[in-house]
Structure 1
Amino acid sequence: MPHASPKPTFTFGLGLAMLASLLLLIGGCGSEGGSARSQDRDGSPERPLMVLLVPTESGQTNLMDDYEPLFSAITRVHGLHFDLRMGSSYAAVVEGMRAGQVDIAHFGAVTYHQARRAGVAELLAVAVVDGEAVYHAGIFHRADSGMSRIEDLKDKTVALGDPNSTSSFNYPVAMMLDAGIDPVRDLRGVLMSGSHSASLSALQAGHVDAAAASVSAYDKMVREGTLDGTRVVLLVKSDPIPNPPLAMRAGLGEEVKARLREVFATIHEQEGVRPEMILAYGGALADRYDSAIDDEFIAPALARLGAVTAELRQELADFANRSRPGRRG
């Protein structure tokens, strides 16, 4: 029987400093103290499960808009309650789960790998859209740039997103490496924009020659009218990448984890749940959420990203500080 329940709680812009305050409020900033208090969170109205969302292509508010209908539907149908908050960086999301103060988080493949390697996260579910649980990264350019292939990026300026982002940083860098382009030595400059949308906006404004972002981010900005799809076009698209998964804290009780897997796998079938409530990464309508996935689903993407080492990410950050692509006419 459906429960008449309030919508999840929302908080925006949770960075590392604010996260530290949250840890104190929820119960201890150390992992041991946090773990003791985190066991109290069971999805009841008094002890909602803490959900932290990683910022993506279109800003914090839009990401909350993407996930609010899904979590609200689960609350209404199953009586599980959630406290949804926005992290201001990928690092905040990983640290929140590492500290035991975040129960569910939205990850990219790279960020999930960091949390999984630390032993603090397990896969919960991934969105299936048009029968597939994958999306694509892209490198975009202006239609009048004269470029036609990835090799044309040599001696050009490129905007990249967050260094922990799979599709706005790591995958595009891996694609350049595969094409024989050393991004530190062969590019004229790098702009570290911090997000998909900021990279695409910088490209449209003429600050850079190319931009890395997910194709879904590009499509959403075009739909919303914030990007001119006739001026900014795709130069090259990646191989399929696993959709950004939802993961849960490894230390959650087994009964809670089993229940979460069940409700995410079946929420699309429940009475009163409309298709527009089941949204995926980038606001796309999802067919359903698949909770039968395992780490093998993400393994091929992680293997492809092996060449994008921490050292290379740091070199690119240093290069960006030196090159500082500016506004060009």
Structure 2
Amino acid sequence: MKKLLAALVATTALAAPAVAEEITEFRIGILGGDNVQSRLNNYECLAEYTTEALGVETKLFTPADYNGVIQGLLGGALDMAWLGASGYAATYLKDPEAVEPVAVKTNLDGSYSYHSIGFARKDSGVTEIADLEGKVFGFGDPNSTSGYLIPSVEIPAQYDVTMEPGAFFGDVVFTGGHEQTIVAVYNGDIDAGVTWADGLGNWEDGYNSGALRRAVDNGLVDMNEMVRIWKSKPIPEGPVVLRRALPDDVKQKMSDLITGLYDRDQDCAYNVAFGDTAGFTPIAHEAYETIIEVRRQKNAN
């Protein structure tokens, strides 16, 4: 690991730092879309550019689950993270002043949406949700938009089923994250699951970007052995957020770095964005008001 980068793996709660006006380091949280080493490798270039832009050490944190990143942002122990839309909603509902969205990943067609994708093994005989009666269905993380929130609302509404284990599905489990769900389905440990993808490009490539593409790039799966069984409505891509209390000049430098990353280093943008991207563009809170309301209602039930 290059000396500009200090990569720290955080699997427990992050300790809150002492309050200070000027930063002496910059801390980036990485959601658990794939394994720890892959996350660190793919963010190394961004960490190096961050150190160059800010003149301070950059540290990467890879908590065991989404909530670790959310709590790190809420507690002031993280300065930046790329959250899913539901993760941003959870953070905002806890503390509207904790973070601010600054950028969003843009797809090759110019959109900034993606989909929750339901999938199964091709040799399982499962081709649609209706085939899963009595079988095991896997979500990823409870704070994932595509890995839980959206499919837990849309699938029951579309198929008139409940996600309660033992009702329609034989069991409903949380695997822990996108990569875990993909591998569990591929290995036959569960019958079907959901993950995220932009829905563009070819199925055999794992689409252009998303968790399936990352799994293909990492050599974990052969998409020809799996089949799509469900696709959600478009979901707004989650935002890159910055801790609101950061100095204004730091926030400006990091916003410029993220939105200019594709033009500067397309390979780095590919790594950070889980695949092909047209780059990151500015985004504001207003883009997530609908998903915040969905999350609010889900929390109330």
Gaps (5+ residues) in structure 2? 198-209
Given the superposition, is the C-alpha separation of residues 267 and 228 from structure 1 closer, same or farther in structure 2, using an over 3 Å criterion?
Answer: closer
The separation in 2 between residues aligned to 1:174 and 1:222, in whole angstroms, is 28
- Structure 2 equivalent of residue 112 of structure 1: 88
The separation in 2 between residues aligned to 1:167 and 1:124, in whole angstroms, is 21
- Structure 1 equivalent of residue 161 of structure 2: 181
The separation in 2 between residues aligned to 1:223 and 1:252, in whole angstroms, is 35
- Structure 2 equivalent of residue 48 of structure 1: 25
| Cα shift at 1:144 | 2.8
Paired residue secondary structure (1:225): coil
Give the letter aligned to residue 183 of structure 1: M
- Structure 2 equivalent of residue 244 of structure 1: 238
The reply to whether residue 263 of structure 1 matches residue 253 of structure 2 is no
Q: In the TM superposition, what whole-angstrom CA distance separates every residue of 1:35-76 from its partner, at most 9, and x where no partner exists?
A: x23x331xxxxx1222122211x2122122222223323433
Mapping for residues 303-314 of structure 1, pairs under 5 Å: 303=293, 308-309=298-299, 311=301
| Cα shift at 1:261 | 2.0
% identical equivalent positions: 23
| Cα shift at 1:256 | 2.5
| Cα shift at 1:98 | 1.6
The reply to whether residue 162 of structure 1 matches residue 141 of structure 2 is yes
| Cα shift at 1:307 | 5.9
Given the superposition, is the C-alpha separation of residues 240 and 66 from structure 1 closer, same or farther in structure 2, using an over 3 Å criterion?
Answer: farther
- Structure 1 equivalent of residue 8 of structure 2: 11
- Structure 2 equivalent of residue 294 of structure 1: 284
When normalised by structure 1's length, the TM-score is 0.77
The reply to whether residue 123 of structure 1 matches residue 101 of structure 2 is yes
The reply to whether residue 234 of structure 1 matches residue 228 of structure 2 is yes
| Cα shift at 1:193 | 0.9
- Structure 2 equivalent of residue 192 of structure 1: 174
Asked if the contact 1:136/1:241 (under 8 Å) is kept, the reply is yes
Mapping for residues 79-94 of structure 1, pairs under 5 Å: 79=55, 81-94=57-70
Give the letter aligned to residue 138 of structure 2: A
| Cα shift at 1:268 | 3.6
The separation in 1 between residues aligned to 2:262 and 2:120, in whole angstroms, is 38
Asked if the contact 1:93/1:105 (under 8 Å) is kept, the reply is yes
Instruction: Indicate the larger mover: 78-87 or 191-200.
Output: 78-87
- Structure 2 equivalent of residue 320 of structure 1: none
User: Which of 151, 169, 173 pairs up with 1:172?
Assistant: 151
The separation in 2 between residues aligned to 1:102 and 1:182, in whole angstroms, is 37
Asked if the contact 1:173/1:308 (under 8 Å) is kept, the reply is no
When normalised by structure 2's length, the TM-score is 0.83
Asked if the contact 1:137/1:237 (under 8 Å) is kept, the reply is yes
| Cα shift at 1:6 | 5.2
The reply to whether residue 102 of structure 1 matches residue 81 of structure 2 is no
Give the letter aligned to residue 204 of structure 1: Y
Paired residue secondary structure (2:90): helix
Give the letter aligned to residue 70 of structure 1: L
The separation in 2 between residues aligned to 1:309 and 1:199, in whole angstroms, is 23
Q: In the TM superposition, what whole-angstrom CA distance separates every residue of 1:266-297 from its partner, at most 9, and x where no partner exists?
A: 3444xxx3311223656313322212x11222
Paired residue secondary structure (1:82): strand
Gaps (5+ residues) in structure 1? 28-35, 42-46, 312-329
The separation in 1 between residues aligned to 2:258 and 2:56, in whole angstroms, is 11
| Cα shift at 1:304 | 5.3
Given the superposition, is the C-alpha separation of residues 148 and 302 from structure 1 closer, same or farther in structure 2, using an over 3 Å criterion?
Answer: farther
The separation in 1 between residues aligned to 2:273 and 2:104, in whole angstroms, is 13
Paired residue secondary structure (1:290): strand
Which has the greater radius of gyration? 1
The separation in 2 between residues aligned to 1:274 and 1:256, in whole angstroms, is 21
**For this pair of structures, how many residues does the alignment match?**
282
Paired residue secondary structure (1:167): helix
